[in-house]
Amino acid sequence: MSKPVALVTGGTSGIGLGIARRLIDRGCEVVLSARGQDRLDPLVAELGAIGVAADVATEEGRAAIVAEVRRLGRLDWLVNNAGAGGGTAGLDVDAERAQRVLEINFYSHVALTHELWPLLRESPRARVIVVSSSLGTYASSGSITYGASKAALTSWGRALQTAARPLGIEVTMVNPGPVVTTTFPHHELLQHRWKGKLVIGVDRCVNDVMRRVDRGGGEVWSHWFYRLPAIAQAIAPGTYDRFLV
């Protein structure tokens, strides 16, 4: 029997790379996709993975990724992890940048999952991991575009959980707060007296994800604190808007 096959988008750093390493340790054939060939090549050589240098937010990029997975003939793990920051805070982001963020953080995952769904349906135990953000569960005036893109992804991922479960496909939603990665080093938060305690490392986040996956899907929060604003906005949106945004 051939190895289980896993696809990890945005797999050259941070949470994506951490999950990819765990899947390789579990005996999976891992396909890593990322835009940068220079970062992809050394990781492919180190991990023994398959690399696809492609922009998942474009039709051409997704077609290249899908073609490589189909060549392998199966898909057991789909890790929707590719993402982009939202640029500057508030409304100081142009419409073109906003569209790009939404295409990367939301639409690319929807389109890629749709293309690969038939292969997932054929797997005896398919798993989908959707890496969103705690900022997708509550509103923040300092992260309007990024938060909107992650809110769309979170809503879609939760609905996918419900739709996929009767088919035997487990979907795990990941809602990280600040996680230290090369893209998001969080230097300012780490220098703060108490906010720095809410920042976690990649290994802890990945550990939480894999434990949740092994228990059968569900939802992962990287720190309990980041559930509070989501609950506050749901229960008392007026108060939240006045004091916490």
State how far the Cα of 123 lies from the Cα of 233, in Å rounded to an integer.
Answer: 39
| CB neighbours of residue 232 within 10 Å | 15
The half-sphere exposure of 141 on its side-chain side, counting CA atoms within 13 A, is 6
Phi, psi of 71 (to 5 degrees): -60, -35
DSSP string, 173-213: EEE---B--SS---HHHHHSTTGGGG-B-HHHHHHHHHHHH
- Per the residue annotation, which of 107, 138, 146, 240 is the catalytic one? 146
146 is catalytic: yes
Phi, psi of 219 (to 5 degrees): -135, 140
| DSSP secondary structure letter of residue 142 | T
Taking alpha carbons only, the member of 147, 128, 126, 125 closest to residue 138 is: 147
Q: Which sequence positions are flagged as catalytic?
A: 146
